[in-house]
Chains A and B, each alone.
Chain A
Amino acid sequence: MASTTLKSMRLGGLSVALLLLLVLVSLHLMSSAVQNSAELSRYFVPLLVVSITGMFILLGLIFYNSIRLIRQYVRQRAGSRLTLRMVALFSVISLGPVGVVYYYSFGFLQAGIDSWFDVDIDRAMEDARELGQSALGLNQRLLLKYTEQLLSSIDDQSESALSLAIAELRQQSGAVELVLTDPGGQIIAYANVDPTVLAPGVPDSEIRQQLRTGNDYVGLEHGKDELMIRVAVRDPLSRPFILQGLYPTSTRISGLSEKLELAYNRYKELGFLRQSLKWNFSLTLSLVLLFGVLSAIWAAFFTARRMVAPIANIAAGTRAVAEGDYDRQLPVPRRADELAFLVASFNAMTRRIAQARDQADRSQREVEGQRAYLETVLGSLSSGVLTFDATRNLQTANPAAGKILGSDLGSLIGAQLQELALGSPVLRQFVEILQTPLLNPNEEWKGEVTLFGGEGRKVLICRSTPFAQPNGRNGHIILFDDVTALIRAQRDAAWGEVARRLAHEIKNPLTPIQLSAERLRHKYLHTMPEQDARVLDRATHTIVQQVEAMKEMVNDFSEYARPPQMQAKPLQADRLISEVVDLYRGIDKEVCLDVSLQAGTSQIEADSLRLRQVVHNLVKNAQEAVAGQDNGCVSVSTQIIERADHAFFEMRVQDNGPGFSEEMLQHLFEPYVTSKPKGTGLGLAIVKKIVEEHGGIIWAENCSDGACLTLQLPVLCGTEEEE
């Protein structure tokens, strides 16, 4: 756009320059014409028209430019103020000297032309004319008298005598022509110096009129080569005669008269034309002045625009760069000055900025490519990946992280670590665990994290690795895997193996032991004295009982080792618990059983047989814990608890027994851990195993007056009641 402006400016400038040249040539020719150039004088008026038209066009151009400039100034266009200032400055600078020159030139012109005419010369010319007229008048008067005398001298009035007399008188007087007429103008006699001229010239009507009024006439006439004096007189003797004579003046008088007349006429004409001449010179001078002023103003516009255009372009270009247009290139002025250097520097700057922008774009595309690649990799990972910046704002979270933590982490990008804790219970637990490692920006951390949430217990292997951020501070990459299933599988596999070996190793000798004990009893019970028989009976009975117990234990092991064959179905937990608890009512009358089932019709997804086993174990253990104790009491309560968006079924079995020791609490759910003399130590291990298989969690704690076991299972949402 700026290039087009410059081009149009050049084109417009060339057109106006041609116009100026045309007007200048026209004015020059006008000036030549005014100075009496014969060839050009007839073109004066066309030249005047051309000049005035050209200047009107120039005036229109200046007016248009002025309006445009004022409009640009009002709109505060770039460069308009500078242009206006320069135009005003140039105009004032040019108007001053031109005005002074015009003022003095005008005065000199007027005075110069006036100086051609002097009062003394005027007087001299008038005197010369009067002198000439006096001389000629004297001559005329003499010839008038002389002609009267000639007419008086005619005596004979016959026609022939008159003709002869006239011819003689003409010759005598030296007249060119003598004509004798009657008062009516009828020619009576005629004589001419040229015999070939047969008829006299017709006198002027004014002469005839004067004669008719009774006055004589004398006047000058211009002959072919000389000045003539015409005289017409009436007869002093009152005869009806009029004598007209045409007398030549002397050659000297004629020549001097002619010269005087020419000079006087020329002087008179010049005097008359003086005013016109002043007008013409003044007009030409004024037009030249006007041309000069208009040219200067237009040149001021043109020059100012040309000078300001690069500055305005730079201003517009700077604005464009500020708005992000780095491809703007300005036309470099052809003249090698500071402005051209400035424009070239601006172009170099925008080029470099554009290159830098392109480079940044390429880098950004590469980064985005790498980011997309990374996101793809992260997205396809089964491990959860979170990144935090130095201020512990979540920067990245891959889909696996959200899946493992059960939250939409994508919507939490940018959130502070503490804000993540508000998302869900799982996230809250996770955040609490991450607090410490994230506070140490330069240390790696690795640990196992156990979370409990809507989906049950989860075990995560976490690793925190610091990474350097562009600002020089360290962020953190949190990498974690859900190893719940893996641990469970490993544990199950290990315990299954143990149970299987134990069952195998233990069960094999039990039957021979039992059979041997029964054979001893059968063979020696009746043969032994009564006292010994009682001992034997008791011993064998004990052996058999213990073997049975060991068989049961082995069967339990087998049960534990058996791979889970869950047949989970939605069921109302309260109904199932009620059925089981009812079996224990009245068994031990010393132990009260307090049942409070508040879960209502909420359902859980569980294998009813295995869940019954859990309830049996917990209630039975509690009863055994308070057995033999006064006021022993077991309470079984259920409720639905809400954590964040998830509902959980909670069952608490509490007794008012002695509670668990600290050491017991730590290993309570491990196999072979029991406080009962006859316990196998597998009950709570199996309970924990079943609860975990149902995605639940169980823990034990000491209450204010006894032990308390609490299990929580996820509640099914919107399921039908158990069929």
Chain B
Amino acid sequence: MSGALRLLLFFLLLSLGTSAWSADFTVKEVQIELQGKRYLMSAQIDFQLSEQALEALSNGVPLTLEVHLIVEKTWHRFWEPLPYEGYLRYQIRFLALTGLYRVVDLQSGEEQSFVTRDAALRALGEIDELALVMQAELINGESYQLRLRAGLDIESLPLPLRPLAYLGTGWKLTTGWTQWPLQP
């Protein structure tokens, strides 16, 4: 019955739990450059996993990190089409037998193994020359910006973990939306 009591306590703490998460993901650097007629973006994101996420990772739970990218006018109206919107999804998983961290680019399917977790997370946080949008697609004289948000995708967690991830602490890991100017 102690489990039931804990469950009751869990319900009582539902509302408190949602406000206790900490955003340990930060966008350290974003560089946007025009190469040829296309804008390319390089970024460095620091993925500092929470204690809960690290525990899950070390126990073989794959974590999916998602980077959401939007290029839009600085004064964007919601009905206007977006020049660019894209998602970058990566999965990191610890392999206990080999002691390696396997990182999978879910777009391309490429896999990389890292000996240490920090190396794997560092590699995950480095985006190198990602093609964003053609210069021609942007209106001259108009002010544009790149909005970027990186976070842990809770929906990709194993199902039993999702309710706790939604309702508990340490799982709402996101950089929040960051804006970066993009001048045509």
Contact = CB atoms under 8 A, between A and B. Distances in A.
B40 interface: no
Contact of A207 (B61, B115, B155, B158): B115
Contact of A220 (B7, B61, B98): B98
Majority DSSP secondary structure for residues of A touching B: helix
B60, B93, B164 pick with most chain A CB within 10 angstroms: B60
Interface string B144-161: 000000000001001111
Interface stretch (A271-279, A446-454, A597-605): A271-279
A264 B99 CA distance: 12
A132 B159 CA distance: 30
Interface in B98-119: 98-100, 102, 111, 113-116, 119
A191 B112 CA distance: 21
Contact of A48 (B100, B119, B163): B163
B3 A36 contact: no
Contact of B61 (A48, A103, A222, A273): A273
A129 interface: yes
The secondary-structure label for the interface of chain B is mixed
A272 B7 contact: no
A273 B97 contact: no
B1 A106 contact: yes
A222 B102 contact: yes
Interface in A224-271: 227, 257, 260-261, 264-266, 268-269, 271
Contact of A280 (B111, B119, B163): B163
A136 B98 contact: yes
Contacts of A45: 162-163, 166
B163 A261 contact: no
Contact of A260 (B3, B60, B97, B102): B97
Interface string A274-288: 001111101100100
Contact of B60 (A136, A206, A265): A265
B41 interface: no
A523 interface: no
Contacts of A353: none
A204 B97 CA distance: 19
A129 B4 CA distance: 35
A133 to B, nearest CB: 6
A385 to B, nearest CB: 92
B59 interface: yes
Interface residues of B, number: 33
A227 B98 contact: yes
B10 interface: yes
Most buried by B among A129, A220, A271: A220
A269 B4 contact: no
A269 B3 contact: no
B159 A279 contact: no
Contacts of A265: 60, 93, 95-96
Given A129-B96, A261-B98, A222 B59 contact: no
Given A266-B60, A269-B158, A286 B7 contact: yes
A283 B4 CA distance: 9
Contacts of A269: 59-61, 158
Interface string B46-70: 0000000001100111000000000
Interface residues of A, number: 43
A261 B60 CA distance: 10
B159 A282 contact: no
B39 to A, nearest CB: 27
Contacts of B7: 279, 282-283, 286
B160 A261 contact: no
A34 interface: yes
Interface in A88-139: 103, 106, 110, 129, 132-133, 136
Contacts of A276: 158, 160-161, 163-164
B111 A204 contact: no
Contact of B113 (A42, A221, A283): A221
Nearest to A263: B97
A211 to B, nearest CB: 13
A268 B3 contact: no
Contacts of B10: 279, 283
B4 A282 contact: yes
Interface in B18-77: 55-56, 59-61
A42 B155 CA distance: 6
B171 to A, nearest CB: 11
Contacts of B114: 204, 206
Contact of A33 (B3, B159, B166): B159
B24 to A, nearest CB: 20
A339 B24 CA distance: 68
Contacts of B1: 103, 106
B96 A264 contact: yes
A222 B163 contact: no
A524 to B, nearest CB: 165
A132 B97 CA distance: 7
Interface string B116-131: 1001000000000000
Contact of B161 (A219, A221, A273, A283): A273
A41 interface: yes
A204 B3 contact: no
A273 B55 CA distance: 11
A44 interface: yes
Nearest to A268: B60
Nearest to A133: B97
Contacts of B4: 106, 282, 286
Nearest to A102: B4
A205 interface: yes
Contacts of B162: 41, 44-45
B3 A110 contact: yes
A299 B160 CA distance: 33
A206 B96 contact: no
A266 B60 CA distance: 7
A268 B55 CA distance: 11
B100 A280 contact: no
| Most A-side CB within 10 Å, residue of B99, B158, B160 | B160
Contacts of B111: 222
A206 B114 CA distance: 9
Contacts of A136: 97-98
Contacts of B116: 206
A436 B147 CA distance: 123
A129 B155 CA distance: 30
A106 B3 CA distance: 8
Contacts of B99: 133, 220
A283 B162 CA distance: 13
A315 to B, nearest CB: 42
Contacts of A268: 59-60, 96
11 contacts: A129-B96, A133-B99, A204-B114, A204-B119, A207-B115, A220-B113, A257-B97, A261-B96, A276-B161, A276-B163, A283-B7
Given A222-B113, A280-B160, 11 more contacts: A34-B160, A133-B97, A205-B119, A222-B111, A261-B98, A264-B97, A269-B60, A279-B163, A280-B159, A283-B10, A286-B4
Interface of B: 1, 3-4, 7, 10, 55-56, 59-61, 93, 95-100, 102, 111, 113-116, 119, 155, 158-164, 166
Interface of A: 33-34, 36, 41-42, 44-45, 48, 103, 106, 110, 129, 132-133, 136, 204-207, 219-222, 227, 257, 260-261, 264-266, 268-269, 271-273, 276-280, 282-283, 286
Nearest 4 Cβ contacts at the A-B interface: A272-B59, A276-B160, A265-B60, A261-B97
